Amino acid sequence: MSLPPELHQRARRLVLENAVEHGGEPRVGPIVARLLATDPSLRSRASDVTSLVAETIAAVTGLSPEVRASELANLGGAEAIAVRPTKVAGELPALPGAEPGKVVLRMAPFPSGALHIGNARMIFLNDYYRRKYDGKLLLVFDDTVGSEEKRVDAELFGVIRADLDRCGVPVDAVLYKSDRLPTHYAWAERVIALGATYVCFCPSTILQANRRAGIACPERVQTVPETLALWHKMLDGGFEVGGAVLRLKTDLADPDPAFRDRVLFRISDLDHPRVGRKWRVWPLLEFSWAVDDIELGVTHVLRGKDLVMEDRMQRHIWQLLGIQGPPFVHWGLLRVREAKISKSKSYAEVKSGEYDGWADPRTWSLASMVRRGILTESVKAFTMSFGLSLADIEVPAETLYAENRTRVDGIAKRRMFAEDPVRVVVDGFPADLRSVTLSNHPDLPALGERTVSVDGTFFLARADLLAHAGETVRLKDLANLELPALLPSTGEGPVHAPFAGRENRRVPRLQWAEAASAIPVDLLDVDGRHRSGVAESALRDSAPGEILQFERVGFVRIEPDWTSGMSPVRVCFGHP
């Protein structure tokens, strides 16, 4: 199956951009990495993509610099790899009515999954304003009992606290909704006393149908004493699960059907990991927050604009009780295009063992970011660059990667890696090239050098051999050779390739590992796939948790539980 036409056009654009950037010498590796990083579905066709890029480079090589520049302009110019920040942290707007030393904020995660890239805005914006006003930040677990599909998990309390520690965000207090039900019950009776509620017996399907149609349920005419008696019957176990709910009276003609007579409390007999079956009647989140934002002294509520219904419910309850609640400050949804986040799916996959814990790259959790070598400082800068914009924003992962690249490029030593390696014997390899000193970073001498002994037999990536069959290529920083036109279809070879000189010619440069001392590598990719290959012997000296760059592949991080001497060396892919 041929590659889509739009990929051909994008490849040509990137090749032209790369040619301009590197003085007329496009490089296959970075271009392929960009294409695969922004469309993981192409990874299974990496060899086809590599061939496309190589063919495009060949077509562009003969063009003059003026023609290249003109064609690049016609294709839209250099491809943006990062969305420019619209604000910086120092320019975020003031909180309405905020007084230094008196601001109290809260974060309210539901403990059904680890915090992920989509939660970063909640974390860092709350932390920013807490620091700006020398205020307090509360961690209040929204552990009201969930459902069979979305359960509170005891493990997640510790996981979420570790996530915040990982982000360098301390909290001033940790509270649990499951400890606060007596307070919620007391507030419920205050609202019942106003005649603003009723106990409804409608099945959920009838309740929802009546709400959509604006039809009152029969129980809506209850008197306050009747509602109060039925409420106590709920608390005393007089109804089965689903047999009764406490509902708030609102306008049945409200333009938003979802706001019509919302449910405040429901019955559940699910076992709670902290309080067991102590409580059978649980508040829905908007009522619990109408209570706790006042009781806990919260001065400003920072949340996503998708929670405007919760805002409206809280304000309605406060107005009924004559209470002035805190203002709400919103931000729009921030999506990373490649991050397919589903807490429920991740929970199921983690618990089943299909995912490698909450740090599995497929969860896009904050723990997985660290595992991949994406620094929390990078996640913070990426998140804060969008400020408090109410616009929903979707950006490619490359935006985050570009932010991280600025931080790790200067600390990551370079190492060579060959995926799906093929053994190549260089015929006529000269004896005086059998030891080579390589820089650990082309632009940072302070990162040192390593000396590699070679004997003329190497491992090269199969995709490179297929892309350049029959061509003259250069083993990076070492020597040139002539690749044969035909390669073995399976196995490691060996392939024989004549030595073709030592001068630094403008030919494709290939990564290599000396065969005698090559180290097996298991590379965990972002999609959970394990990629096998070999790396140069210097990889053996790496430390667990160290961030490196596999040249022409991308940044990787040595798995923290890997120890020297274990084979293979286990690494997690970060990004190109």
pLDDT at 565: 78
* Single pTM value for the model: 0.81
Integer angstrom CA distances of residue 366 from 124, 167, 174, 232? 12, 8, 20, 43
Burial profile 427-441: b = 16 or more Cβ within 10 angstroms, e = fewer? eebeeeeeeeebebb
Q: Show pLDDT as tens, one digit a residue, over the chain (576 residues).
A: 577 777 887 888 788 877 765 555 677 777 776 776 556 567 667 778 888 888 888 887 777 776 676 676 556 555 433 333 333 445 799 999 999 999 999 999 999 999 999 999 999 999 999 999 999 999 999 999 866 667 899 999 999 999 999 999 999 999 999 999 999 999 999 999 999 999 999 998 999 999 999 999 999 999 999 999 999 999 999 999 999 999 999 999 999 999 999 999 999 999 999 999 999 999 999 999 999 999 999 999 999 988 988 999 999 999 999 999 999 999 998 899 999 888 888 989 999 999 999 999 999 999 999 999 999 999 999 999 998 888 888 999 999 999 999 999 999 999 999 999 999 999 999 999 999 999 999 999 999 999 999 999 999 999 999 999 999 999 999 999 999 988 766 666 689 999 999 999 899 999 999 999 999 999 999 999 999 999 999 999 999 999 999 999 999 999 999 987 788 999 999 999
Whole-number pLDDT of residue 549: 97
d(CA 293, CA 299): 8
Q: Reduce the DSSP state of residue 102 to 3 states and report it.
A: coil
Residue 254's Cβ-count burial label (10 Å; 0-12, 13-18, 19+) is middle
Give residue 62's pLDDT: 73
Give the pLDDT of residue 84: 36
| CA nearest to 287, candidates 275, 295, 297 | 295
**Which residues face 524 on adjacent strands?**
530, 572
How many DSSP H helices and E strands does the chain contain? 16, 27
CATH code for the domain defined by 96-335: 3.40.50.620
Is residue 398 a contact partner of residue 433, using CB atoms and an 8 Å limit? no
| Domain locations in the chain as residue ranges | 5-74, 96-335, 414-575
* Homologous superfamily of domain range 414-575: Ribosomal Protein L25; Chain P (2.40.240.10)
Strand residues in 61-182 grouped as ranges (E): 104-107, 136-141, 173-176
Query: Strands, DSSP E only, in 276-327?
Result: 281-283, 301-304
User: Is residue 473 within 8 Å of residue 481, measured between CB atoms?
Assistant: yes
Cis before 421? omega within 30: no
Per-residue confidence (pLDDT) for residue 455, from 0 to 100: 93
Query: Which parts of 275-419 are beta strand (E)?
Result: 281-283, 301-304, 328-331, 334-336, 393-395, 413-415, 417-419
What confidence score (pLDDT) does residue 24 get? 59
Q: Which of 415, 433, 446 is nearest to 519 (CA)?
A: 415
pLDDT of residue 85: 36
